[in-house]
Amino acid sequence: MKAIAPGKIIISGEHAVVYGAPAVGMAVDRNAVFQLKPQVSDEISFDLEHAAASSFTLLALRDLKKRIERKYSQFQQGELGIRYVLSAPADLFRFAFIHALDGLHRTLDSGLVMKLRSTIPVGCGMGSSAATVLSEIRALGHYLRVDFKPDWYYEYSLEVERLQHGYPSGIDSYMALHGGCTYFKEGQGQKIPMPSVKMFLVETGIPESSTGVCVETVRKQFGSSSIWSEFVSVTEEVRTHLETNEQSKLYESIRANHRLLDQIGVVPGRVSQFIREVEARGGAAKICGAGAVEGEAAGVLIVLADETPTALCEKYGYTVSPLRGDPLGTRLV
């Protein structure tokens, strides 16, 4: 059984979405693919990219689940930072598997090999973990012949996302599940037209601070700030410009969104300088995830421009590639 789920970018509303403000997100043509195959052994084997192959009994996976849930409870009580809930990134997918299996009250006739392959940049704000978890539980559900409703996938993936991001808004899971371009607010989404402008994905490198750490840091400094109302205004403008296909105004709103993100301290100086140079050439750019509160890398940027900013990216040592939307979301392949 094989399932695919897309990554996402946030066109407007990063960080603000955590406080109930709206965001505009778009599923993109970078995907996570999970494949399940039965094996003679009764163990569950994980063949994951960027992690050594590993095998577990169901008992060992349930013990892992208990330890992770205990750590997350400590995080909720303020006794532990979110970065310490998972001992290793791969634990997220091990937890997702046993959490879904136990939640369905199903048994397995044999062991399984769980193979992940992904083209979504990891740790760069593109919803890699949400897409991977959704492709995993979609493939598992089909393997177990369970007919899920979309809401079930959303809630399960969100429960798993909390282990990595603390208090996720849900937009990563929503976009990966449904695809397309969406106006998202407080867990609910409304489809809107995808951008018709040329878009490019610029990779500045993996941030030194995780999404959870960025969100916690911003919450401490700006949790009660009035700046979130400014984010709301910009996001509403972006939504309007997409619906009316006003490209020049969309550029202006993207620039305004960048200024706000810079103000809350999640755009490293070098990345901000790159964006200024993009703007000087008539384009617009902004971070697409949580950004960073440490170091000079900020994950991925979305760049709106008439031409590929190849020379500028070479100057900064960044990589650039065309970016398109994914209208389909999580599905079997």
Are residues 185 and 202 located together in one domain of the fold?
Answer: no
- Tens-digit pLDDT profile for residues 282-325: 999 999 888 999 999 999 999 999 999 999 999 999 999 999 99
**Nearest-5° Cα angle at 117, 69 to 271:** 80
5, containing H or E segment: strand 2-12
Are residues 152 and 187 located together in one domain of the fold?
Answer: yes
Are residues 30 and 163 located together in one domain of the fold?
Answer: yes
- Tens-digit pLDDT profile for residues 234-274: 999 999 999 999 999 999 999 999 999 999 999 999 999 99
Are residues 38 and 127 located together in one domain of the fold?
Answer: yes
Q: What range does the domain containing 123 cover?
A: 2-191+327-332
Using CA atoms, how far residue 137 sits from 49, 114, 122, 152, in Å, is 17, 11, 19, 10
Are residues 168 and 254 located together in one domain of the fold?
Answer: no
Are residues 201 and 146 located together in one domain of the fold?
Answer: no
- Tens-digit pLDDT profile for residues 168-208: 788 899 999 999 999 999 888 999 999 999 999 999 998 88
- Tens-digit pLDDT profile for residues 102-147: 988 888 989 999 999 999 988 777 889 999 999 999 999 999 988 7
Average pLDDT, the chain: 92
- 148 pLDDT higher than 80: no
- From CA 180, how far away is CA 191, in angstroms rounded? 7
Q: Rounded mean pLDDT of 4-19?
A: 91
Structure tokens at 249: 């105004």
State what percent of residues in the chain have pLDDT above 70. Answer: 100
Question: How confident is the model at residue 107, as a pLDDT?
Answer: 86
Q: Smallest Cα–Cα separation from 14: which of 270, 271, 203, 264?
A: 264
Are residues 164 and 218 located together in one domain of the fold?
Answer: no
